Amino acid sequence: MEQRNLEKAIDIFARLMMGEEVKRDSGGNHALYEEYMQNPEVYDIVESLTKRLNLKLYEYNNGIYMTAGEGNRIFGYSNDELKRMMGLRYNKELYLCYYIMYQTLLTFYNDTGSYQFAECTTLSDVLERTSKSLKKITMKLDALVQDEVEENSFKAIALLWDELPMNTTEESNAYRANRGSRTGMVKLTLNFLVSQDLFIEARERYYPTDRMKAVTENYFEEYRGRLYEILKEE
């Protein structure tokens, strides 16, 4: 192993860990992107580092993106950490936010055979999609779920959604992120996705970043999960 290749690989890994972009057109990191793509030893070292630490590397649109692997408690977030970050109090609120996140992602990506992304979405679009989806699922729970745990989980999310007003009094003139309304919960969720560099907000429209596209496509390829199966059946 050449010392130079080791140093380049560590540099790439460090920059990705710090949230920097390593892309062909990323200015100062352009050379590192070329090293990763064209130098087999550098590529192998970076891949080895990420696998040992349960991290995932995804390539998309001439860029490299890193995210925590499934169950990664060091570089990922636990439920309690996410509740603190998002200002939530109860697990059912967090699960509702998970559901809203999933609905947001499905706006842009439906299955492994379709890689076409919409240009953007809005809070109203996500709000409407979430309401329609929960209504459909609760009407067909017996046919969709596999056990009592799944049934109770969806019932808890749907009940919380139904209990929430569309808006609070303070939201009459603007959307505000809060736990007190459906609009507030969607806004809170979208704010979190923006903070994770998955979306860019401009004039109340949310545009997916390349990081979001890279993570989403590869997530559905690798994990999907039970929620994905239920939503596809729904």
> What is the structure's pLDDT at 150?
64
Cα angle vertex 123, ends 181, 110, to 5°? 115
User: Comparing C-alpha atoms, which of 215, 171, 166 is closest to residue 61?
Assistant: 215
- Taking only the tens place, the pLDDT of each residue in 155-169 is 788 889 999 998 865
pLDDT tens-digit map of 115-156:
556 789 999 999 999 999 888 877 765 555 555 666 667 778
Give the helix, strand, coil percentages of the chain, each rounded to 5.
60, 10, 30
Beta bridge partners of 231: none
What pLDDT digit, counting tens, does each position of 19-76 carry? 888 998 866 788 999 999 999 999 999 999 999 999 989 888 899 999 888 777 777 7
pTM of the model: 0.82
Question: CA-CA distance, 178 to 186, in Å (whole number)?
Answer: 9
Amino acid at 200: I
Alpha-carbon torsion 57, 59, 64, 68, what sign?
Answer: negative
Structure-derived torsion over alpha carbons of residues 70, 18, 197, 66, reported in degrees to the nearest 10: -40
* pLDDT top residue among 158 and 222: 158
Picking from 231, 135, 125, the residue whose alpha carbon sits closest to that of residue 187 is 125
What is the four-CA torsion angle of 87, 70, 220, 79, rounded to 10 degrees? Answer: -20
Confidence of residue 110 (pLDDT cuts 50, 70, 90): low
| pLDDT tens-digit map of 178-206 | 999 999 999 999 999 999 999 999 988 99
On whether the CB atoms of residues 8 and 39 are closer than 8 A, the answer is: yes
d(CA 12, CA 233): 41
107 within 8 A of 126, measured Cβ to Cβ: yes
Taken as a whole, the chain contains a residue count of 234
